[in-house]
Amino acid sequence: MKKTCIKNGIFITSDTSNPVIRGYMVIEGNRITSIHEGSPAESEIFDEYIDGTNKLYMPGLVNTHGHAAMSLLRGYGDDMALQIWLEQKMWPMEAKFTTQDVKWGTLLSILEMLKGGTTTFVDMYDHMNEVAQAVEQSGMRACLTRGVIGLCPPDVQVAKLNEATEFAKNWHGKADGRITTMMSPHAPYTCPPDYIEKIVQVAHDLNLPIHTHMSETSREVQANVDQYGLRPVAHLEKIGVFSRPTLVAHGVHLTDEEIEVLKRYDVRISHNPGSNLKLASGVARVPELLRAGVKVSLGTDGAASNNNLDMFEEMRLAALIHKGVSGDPVAVPATEALLMGTKWGAESIWLDNVGQLAPGMKADFIALDIDQPHFLPKTDFISHAIYSASAKDVVDVCVDGKWVVRGGQCLTLDEEKIKFEFEQCFDRLTQS
Ligand SMILES: CSC[C@H]1O[C@@H](n2cnc3c(O)ncnc32)[C@H](O)[C@@H]1O
Ligand SMILES: [Zn+2]
């Protein structure tokens, strides 16, 4: 097994008593085996040495909610509220998407994410075989799910659920274990309760988690009360969703009691601050969720509501907006924003061996070029990673022990071809 030593680097580790180490990290196969201060002993032999001078190494970022192919809709339907944006802009355009559109839209997003330091992402969309193949080819890690919208005739509902089931069955554990799957009713307002119950039953049968949008806007909460007499949390609890491990996207509008229910069921929240701000959905009660012990991670959502897939931006937003709305400067400290973008992200999708630089963890890590003005002085690198860094600083990316980005270039995908094919898809979509 190949043994690599990255020396002379600065490493953000998960050792809370000594989180920033100036020294070296050893990788054997697809695992991190050790991280130490200083230099390796001369007696220690490695197959390969990598010079980490002027590089900050940290865990790869984990994006826990998105719709990758929506890169095709970036900048289409800006400055609108969620429901109108979905009904008048997104859904009519998405109805025209072919498998080729999803393929090239997803590949463009994977390029953007990988080059920006995201090593794992969650994707809820349609034409998911194309998405899974793109993930496999790119070397990235992903948790994938065919999102189902149940506002359709019964035979179409059945066809969608069958497709989602087959996809989840066929791809779980594939691509050397880099792909896992979930089952996804899109949202309580797009899936009738009996349909959600059927999706939950499949999740039980396949032993898979559930991923859904929930309580994103106050309008959604009120509509749920009007239609079902219950707020979304009680509604989903009643129809058994939380009987499965669940990852909820957004969870913006929650009461104290609802936060307690989510904690009781160990429901995980993917906080999407950029998307929530852009769609004017509100600001999630992240400090209260964290205080209650709910696991919170970060997502970008699709590029049509963000409008980029830069997880550094989400970490920074998460650290800043909750200070702003609460008046409490430690509402979300930098250390917690970093955990949300890494370790807690991995744990939110039930991956316990990525998201941290520590012995035994999978070698999913990134390097930032810190020989730049905005990384001086060389004092607190956790602070710099959250408050100063951006996707543009990422130079190297390793997933599962394999380099996928080196010197800012993606090694696994043909960037020029992807950009060309993406623009062809965009032109066809907008001309038809
Ligand atoms: C059924 S595939 C996923 C579906 O979700 C839509 N979508 C994108 N962003 C959001 C959001 O913030 N809330 C709810 N739904 C969203 C996307 O357009 C696809 O149709
Ligand atoms: Zn979404």
pLDDT tens track for 385-429: 999 999 999 999 999 999 999 999 999 999 999 999 999 999 999
What would the mean pLDDT of 304-308 be, rounded to a whole number?
98
Rounded Cα distance, 278 and 268, in Å: 22
> What is the SS3 assignment for 223-276?
HHHHHHCCCHHHHHHHCCHHHCCEEEEECCCCCHHHHHHHHHCCCEEEECHHHH
Mean pLDDT of 213-218: 98
pLDDT value of position 188: 98
Q: Among candidates 314, 321, 322, which has minimal Cα distance to 339?
A: 314
Angle between helices 128-138 and 99-115 (to 10 degrees): 40
The mean per-residue pLDDT over the stretch 173-198 comes to: 98
pLDDT grade for 432, boundaries at 50, 70 and 90: confident
- Whether the CB-CB separation of 25 and 11 falls below 8 Å is answered with yes
**Measured in angstroms, how far is the CA atom of residue 263 from the centroid of ligand 1?**
25
Cα–Cα dist 316/338, whole Å: 9
Q: What CATH number has the domain spanning 3-59+356-409?
A: 2.30.40.10
Name the helix (H) or strand (E) containing 144.
strand 141-148
Spatial neighbors of 4 by CB under 8 A, at least 6 apart, are 26, 27, 28, 46, 47, 48, 49, 50
Question: Residue type for 46, please?
Answer: F
- Residue nearest ligand 1's atom 2 by CA: 125
φ, ψ dihedrals at 58, nearest 5°? -150, 165
Ligand 1 atom nearest the C-alpha of 147 is 1
Instruction: Give the DSSP per-residue string, 364-407.
Output: -EEEEE--SGGG-SSS-HHHHHHHT--GGGEEEEEETTEEEEET
> Per-residue pLDDT for 193 more than 80?
yes
Calculate how far, in angstroms, residue 165's C-alpha sits from the geometric centre of ligand 1: 19
**Given pLDDT bands bounded at 50, 70 and 90, which one contains residue 76?**
very high
Residue-range domain boundaries for the chain: 3-59+356-409, 61-348
Fold classified for 61-348? TIM Barrel (3.20.20)
Burial of 283 (0-12, 13-18, 19+ CB in 10 A): middle
Pocket of ligand 1 (CB under 6 A): 67, 82, 86, 90-91, 94, 124-126, 147, 149, 186-187, 213, 216, 275, 301-302, 305
- What pLDDT, on a 0 to 100 scale, did the predictor assign at position 266? 98
Whose C-alpha lies nearest to ligand 1, atom 14? 213
Question: Does 373 have pLDDT greater than 80?
Answer: yes
In what side-by-side order are the strands of the sheet with 246-250? Answer: 210-214, 246-250, 268-271, 296-298
Going by alpha carbons, the residue nearest to atom 16 of ligand 1 is 86
Q: DSSP string covering 175-231, please? A: TTTTEEE-BEE--TTTS-HHHHHHHHHHHHHHT--EEEEES-SHHHHHHHHHHHSS-
Question: Which candidate, 332, 334, 427, 344, places its Cα nearest to that of 383?
Answer: 334
Distance 11 CA to ligand 1 centre (A): 36
pLDDT band with cut points at 50, 70 and 90 for residue 210:
very high
Tell whether residue 186 is among the known ligand binding residues.
yes
Mean pLDDT of the chain: 98
Distance, in Å, from the CA atom of 379 to the CA atom of 306, rounded to the nearest integer, reads 31
Residues 271-285: tens digit of each pLDDT: 999 999 999 999 999
**Cα four-point dihedral sign 110, 112, 118, 123:** negative
Residue 265, pLDDT > 80, answer yes
- Taking the CA of residue 187 as reference, the ligand 1 atom at the shortest distance is 14
Most informative mutation of 90, 126, 183, 300 for ligand 1 (most atoms within 8 A of CB): 90
C-alpha distance from residue 211 to each of 149, 176, 269, 286 (Å): 13, 23, 10, 19
Give the closest residue (by CA) to ligand 1 atom 8.
302
Residue 67 is labelled as binding a ligand: yes
Structure confidence at residue 119 (pLDDT)? 99
